[in-house]
Amino acid sequence: MSSTWSNRISFSVFGESHGPAIGVCIDNMPPGESIDMDKLMQFMARRAPGRDQTATQRREKDMPQIMSGYFNGKTTGTPLCAFIANSDQHSADYLKLSKLARPGHADYTGALRYRGFSDPRGGGHFSGRLTAPLCFAGAVAGQILERRGIYVGAHIAEIHKIKDESFDPIRTTRDDIITLRGKSFPTISERRGRMMINDIKKAKEAEDSVGGVVECIAVNVPAGVGSPIFDGLENSIAQLIFGIPAVKGLEFGAGFNAAKMLGSENNDEFYVNEQGHVVTRTNFHGGILGGISSGMPITLRVAFKPTPSIARPQDTVDYSAMKNETIAIKGRHDPCVVPRAVPCVEAAVNIALLNHMLDYPNF
């Protein structure tokens, strides 16, 4: 199934944006792991709509109801299943659009794939609403990792050509990550964050939208985690990252800039530090070599396209009648999905890391 990711850990997301509920079922979650529900809700609140002034006005509590796999505050090892109710749908906004292909959306391709039977309301199963179950799974995985000292954090690296400061690829700490989590608009530079907010507002006023980049880092991942070829850390992270709607690009470490460098510039020289650990002086490899962690921070950047739902009139087609039309999308939409995508990226990386850490000795 396309909505199931299966490796050492497997999980399925289900539901539609305007259906009664969405949810997730996670198999092979380690037993006996505590879940701090307050911390879990704090993680999910970072993705929830209405968190800051740039987000959609749709209001959802995103309160997960755990149905199985959890007893007396701990995971049982059996499938961990959670429902998240949908309570603030405006389905009427989509009635006139049910046969119109919204530019940038999966309406047309989804109608072809599912022979016209897919739920078109709010994007149905293609909606960014389905990142809430991903965040539930990622929040649980994150708590398990953090009890082993591994922390994953992300920030808004870029909005429409306005760039934030970057993570230090060698010296970023747990405290740096925790500080970012407490921000309603997670940028390292407060000044650059304000500039981004103003740019998003301008796009909304112009009945348009903007995209951007999320930078993510994982610290304290031990060396030797992962596998080569098709089961590497990069492979698993990439699969999960591209399960987030609106993702259009991903790079690790120096990424595409490595193509502009000489080998002598891109190679990270090894040395033994004062603690007796093998480390590298630079981190252009992004903490992964041959699909396996090197012990350096894992770094990646994720590109998100502008929100396709815009109020500005656009040309399209009525694919039921095969005729040209014009569309202006009404309803409640984020003028930029990037701020709410930050915890989604963290969640995907948490799941991928936990998946591979299950093979690590004495995990």
What's the confidence (pLDDT) of residue 88?
A: 62
Q: Report the length, in residues, of the chain.
A: 363
What's the confidence (pLDDT) of residue 120?
A: 80
The structure tokens 């109020």 sit at 311
CB 186 within 8 A of CB 154: yes
What's the confidence (pLDDT) of residue 94?
A: 57
CB 302 within 8 A of CB 245: no
Amino acid letter, residue 127: S
Residue 200: how many other CB atoms lie within 10 Å: 27
What's the confidence (pLDDT) of residue 324?
A: 95
Burial of 351: CB neighbours in 10 Å, binned 0-12, 13-18, 19+: buried
What's the confidence (pLDDT) of residue 340?
A: 96
**Residue 220, SS3 per DSSP:** coil
Contacts 24+ apart (CB under 8 A), 142-147: 142/43, 142/346, 142/347, 142/350, 143/33, 143/34, 143/35, 143/36, 143/39, 143/40, 144/30, 144/33, 144/354, 145/350, 145/353, 145/354, 145/357, 147/33, 147/34
Domains of the chain, first to last = 4-357 (3.60.150.10)
What's the confidence (pLDDT) of residue 99?
A: 83
**pTM of the prediction?**
0.93
214: β partners: 156, 302
Rg of the chain in Å (alpha carbons): 21
Q: Which of 158, 342, 350 is nearest to 240 (CA)?
A: 350
**Residue 186, SS3 per DSSP:** coil
Burial 14-45 (b: 16+ CB within 10 A, else e): bbbbbbeebbbbbbbbeeebebeeeebeebbe
Written as tens digits, the pLDDT of the chain (363 aa) is: 589 999 999 999 999 988 899 999 999 999 999 999 999 999 999 998 765 556 555 556 788 999 999 999 999 999 999 999 998 655 555 556 668 889 998 888 988 898 888 888 878 888 889 999 999 999 999 999 999 999 999 999 999 999 999 999 999 999 999 999 999 999 999 999 999 999 999 999 999 999 999 999 999 999 999 999 999 999 999 999 999 999 999 999 999 999 999 999 999 999 999 999 999 999 999 999 999 999 999 999 999 999 999 999 999 999 888 999 998 887 768 999 999 999 999 999 999 999 999 999 988
